[in-house]
Amino acid sequence: MGKLCVGIFGTCGTQMQSPWRGEFKKFYRERGVEFFDPQKKDWKPEDADIEAEHLAEDQIILFPITAATYGLGSLSEVGFSILQAIKLDDRRDFIILIDKNLDESLNDEKLVKESLRSRALVRKHLEKLRLDNIYVVESLDEMLKMSVELYELAKRKNQFAKFNPHKIHENRC
């Protein structure tokens, strides 16, 4: 089990491109759900260490790849994270949303073609994996609801960490 924290990864960009982040964070705060959002106005290269740590250790990882951006970097991150999930000792949960289409405002023909190709490939590869800790959802609403439910389950399970002689389940966000 990872850190009891929801890692909010996936589509970044401007607030206009990813307004869902603010909505998720507000919802989490109202319910006492601990989270990490790597997107911030003053991001510096040194922040990559913290971001990588959360990506490697948070109990619940969100990867919404919305229609608002090409999402090529986020699609790559999904692949890296799934490789981690395949580890036998990894009991973290990954919730993935990959919009099948792009916003009409994205009109670089080459990037649109590559993004749609990558989205289709990643979705198909995810469908073929037989891992019970990877969830592919169809909407941000489904992602938000599932992330809170998985957080509550992990929180309940964390109560038993004191009985684990290795103390590996006591991490918090």
Q: pLDDT higher for 84 or 58? A: 58
In a domain, 96, yes or no: yes
pLDDT at 17: 56
How many domains would you assign to the chain?
1
Give the count of alpha carbons within 13 A of 84, CB side only. Answer: 21
8 Å CB contact between 11 and 17: yes
Structure token pair of residue 118:
């990558």
Residue 76 lies in a domain: yes
pTM of the model: 0.86
Write down the pLDDT at residue 171.
61
* Amino acid, res. 18: S
**CATH code for position 14:** 3.40.50
In a domain, 63, yes or no: yes
- Mean pLDDT for 57-63 is 92
d(CA 63, CA 27): 17
Indicate the SS3 state at residue 135.
strand
Q: State which residues form the domain around 86.
A: 3-41+48-163
Is residue 10 a part of any domain in this protein?
A: yes
| pLDDT number for residue 1 | 64
- Going by C-alpha positions, the residue among 61, 65, 62 that lies closest to residue 91 is 61
Closest residue by Cα to residue 11 from 44, 47, 38: 38
Q: CA torsion, points 25, 167, 81, 68, in degrees to nearest 10?
A: 0
Tell me whether residue 8 is in a domain.
yes
Q: Is residue 140 part of a domain?
A: yes
CA distances for 35 relative to 29, 121, 129, angstroms: 9, 29, 27
Q: Is the pLDDT of residue 85 over 70?
A: no
Residues sharing a CB contact under 8 Å with residue 69, sequence separation 6 or more, in sequence order = 11, 12, 13, 17, 18, 106
Residue 92, class by beta-carbon neighbours within 10 Å (0-12 exposed, 13-18 middle, 19+ buried)? buried
In a domain, 84, yes or no: yes
Residue 168 resides in a domain: no
pLDDT digits (tens, 9 = 90+) for 9-40: 987 665 555 789 999 999 999 999 999 999 88
